[in-house]
Amino acid sequence: MDSDKIFRKGLFALFVGVFGVSSVLPYAQAEWHGELTFLSDYLHRGYSKNRGNPLAQAHIDYQDPIGWFGGVGVSQVSFDDRSYKNYADVEIKPYLGWSLPLNHDWRTELSVTGYLFDGKIFGKYADYAEFYASLHYQNWLSGTVSFAPNAYRREATVLNYELKYRRDILDNLQFSTGLGYYQANKLLDEDYFYWNAGVSWFITSNLALDLRYADVHLDDHHEDIHHHEFYPRLQDNKFLISVTAGF
């Protein structure tokens, strides 16, 4: 078995194995949440993972009262690599983390997320892990630093910084915005800022509609999107809509 397949199987086994432990703990002590979301695009740090097309995502999450949590998300993906063989159509995102209250207002989180694909991305196996450290103030301000030591298996270490703000306008209407800086020069040939702002309307306790505007600031916007072996579509001036049903 080659090293790529060993890495993919090992990463998947790590997340599934540890998350599987949670399923045997007493149900009364756990909180389970699930979501099904339909989106106009899968925008990730300023670039599209679905070529600007609508898609569906599913997500299940487990939270333990003592502070640790885990979950897995599944999403459709479609990169600009349709000319390659064995291209990926599905992304699986298992994650594990620990949340620790610091005082009444502040808490911190440490987590790791896996990005697993059912095929190759631009002709290469692309499964990788990313590590996160977050600081939250009450329920309205969050800051996160993350790094991926081998993003998309391209021998590129990338760092990302995000600041998120959210505020209730009405009982069922929330404004939120986010600003990020992606140090991805080794992956995308550029470091850049990206941001978004929008409103979420909680129609019922199990149904929500989100309307959002997203943009990315590029210092050097390449005319040829095939300038690099990994070239997802960077999105600017983008309007997004999503509908989420949860339990």
* Range 29-48 burial, b when 16+ CB lie within 10 A, else e: eeeeeebebebbbbbbbbbb
pLDDT at residue 33 tops 70: yes
Residue 22's pLDDT is 42
Predicted confidence band of residue 220 (pLDDT cuts 50, 70, 90): low
Q: What are phi and psi of 20, to 5 degrees?
A: -65, -30
Predicted confidence band of residue 7 (pLDDT cuts 50, 70, 90): low
pLDDT at residue 224 tops 90: no
Average pLDDT for 209-228: 74
- Tell which wins on pLDDT, 223 or 234: 234
User: What is d(CA 235, CA 127) in angstroms, rounded to the nearest whole number?
Assistant: 23
Helix, strand or coil, per DSSP, at residue 27: helix
Average pLDDT for 52-56: 95
pLDDT at residue 59 tops 50: yes
Q: Which residues, 6 or more positions from 35, have their beta carbon under 8 angstroms from its beta carbon?
A: 57, 58, 59, 60, 244, 245, 246, 247
User: What is d(CA 187, CA 49) in angstroms, rounded to the nearest whole number?
Assistant: 15
For the segment 78-110, what is each residue's pLDDT rounded down to a tens digit?
999 998 999 999 999 999 999 999 999 999 999
For the segment 125-163, what is each residue's pLDDT rounded down to a tens digit?
999 999 999 999 999 999 999 999 999 999 999 999 999
Q: How many CA atoms lie within 13 A of 119 on its CB side?
A: 16
Instruction: Report the predicted TM-score, pTM, of the whole model to 2 decimal places.
Output: 0.84
For the segment 8-31, what is each residue's pLDDT rounded down to a tens digit?
555 555 444 444 444 444 444 568
Q: Which residues, 6 or more positions from 128, have their beta carbon under 8 angstroms from its beta carbon?
A: 11, 114, 115, 148, 150, 151, 152, 153
Asked if 133 and 109 touch (Cβ cutoff 8 Å), the reply is yes
Helix, strand or coil, per DSSP, at residue 141: strand
Q: Which residues pair with 195 in a beta bridge?
A: 179, 215
pLDDT at residue 64 tops 80: yes
Residue 233's pLDDT is 83
Q: What are phi and psi of 54, to 5 degrees?
A: -65, 155
User: What is d(CA 3, CA 177) in angstroms, rounded to the nearest whole number?
Assistant: 41
CB count in 10 Å sphere of residue 158: 23
pLDDT at residue 53 tops 60: yes
pLDDT at residue 4 tops 90: no
Of all residues in the chain, the percent with pLDDT exceeding 70 is 84
Token code pair at residue 87: 């291209």
